[in-house]
Amino acid sequence: MADVTAPIGPPGPPSLGLGEVSIKMALALFLILGVILLAYWMLRRFGPRFGLGAPVKTHGLRVESHLTLGPRKNIMVVRFLNKLLVLGVTDQSINLLTEVDASDERKDFQAVLEDAGADAGDPGPSGPGPGG
């Protein structure tokens, strides 16, 4: 009888060194981290459009519009309940410029100017000008 010491079946894959295994593991971890960061960015960027993400609690406040006047200087229109508040916002302070009822909201700028002129007793720009 002959001794048979040859393995039965196909030979196994060659074993990888410790350096190659650690490089593959690091690349896989960086790939997973990149996918997580990409998903986070997409959720922050596009989530509110689709109703995803944490709901924002405004407690009755909503910024209607804002106008930048300079570096760190803004005028903001904020709706609080049934009032529109016009605020001057800087780094040091927030000042209430005026308050308007939301029911008095007008879209026509010319009508607002005419009402402001009528309140002041001014005939407005349609009257005769100086030197005329």
> What DSSP element (H or E) covers 117?
helix 109-120
Residues 98/99/105/106 CA torsion (nearest 10 deg) = -10
pLDDT at 132: 47
Predicted model pTM = 0.41
What's the CA gap between 74 and 6, in Å, rounded? 84
Q: What is the mean pLDDT of residues 90-107?
A: 81
Q: What is the mean pLDDT of residues 46-68?
A: 75
Q: What is the DSSP string of 63-75?
A: EEEEEEEETTEEE
| Tokens 């009755």, residue located | 60
Reference 73, options 93, 55, 52; nearest CA is: 93
What's the CA gap between 88 and 38, in Å, rounded? 37
Domain positions in the chain are: 19-50, 61-120
pLDDT digits (tens, 9 = 90+) for 44-55: 888 777 767 666
Name which residue leads in pLDDT, 129 or 26.
26
pLDDT, averaged across the chain: 78
pLDDT digits (tens, 9 = 90+) for 19-44: 888 999 999 999 999 999 999 998 88
Name which residue leads in pLDDT, 1 or 113.
113
Read off the tokens for 21: 């295994």
Residue 77: pLDDT above 60?
yes
Show Cβ contacts of residue 16 under 8 Å, excluding neighbours closer than 6 positions.
24
Question: Which residues partner with 83 through β-bridges?
Answer: 80, 101
Residue 41: half-sphere exposure toward Cβ, Cα within 13 Å = 6
Q: State how far the alpha carbon of 116 is from the alpha carbons of 110, 112, 124, in Å.
A: 10, 6, 9
